[in-house]
Amino acid sequence: MNILVLVSGNGSNLQALIDAEKSGRCSEGGRESGGMRIAAVVSDKAGVFALQRANNAGIPAITETPDKSLPREERQRELSDRILRIAGKYNAGLIVLAGFLSILRGNIVKAYSGRIINLHPSLLPDFGGEGMYGDRVHRAVLASGKKESGCTVHLVDGGTDTGPVLLQRRVPVLPGDSAESLAARIHREEHIAIVDAVIRFPELSAL
- Our finding on whether 2 is near ligand GAR (CB under 6 A) is no
- Our finding on whether 163 is near ligand GAR (CB under 6 A) is no
Residue 95: Cβ-neighbour burial (10 angstroms; 0-12, 13-18, 19+) = buried
Could you give the string, one character per residue 102-121, with x where binding to ligand GAR holds by CB under 6 A and - elsewhere? Answer: -----------------xxx
Question: From the CB of residue 3, how many other CB atoms can be counted at a distance below 10 Å?
Answer: 25
Residue 6: Cβ-neighbour burial (10 angstroms; 0-12, 13-18, 19+) = buried
Contact 43, 124 (CB under 8 A): no
How does DSSP classify residue 184?
Answer: H
- Our finding on whether 44 is near ligand GAR (CB under 6 A) is no
Smaller CB distance to ligand GAR: residue 131 or 206? 131
Could you give the string, one character per residue 168-207, with x where binding to ligand GAR holds by CB under 6 A and - elsewhere? Answer: -------------------x--x-----------------
- Our finding on whether 6 is near ligand GAR (CB under 6 A) is no
How does DSSP classify residue 145?
Answer: T
| Contact residues: ligand GAR, CB under 6 A | 9-13, 50, 98-99, 119-121, 133-134, 151, 187, 190
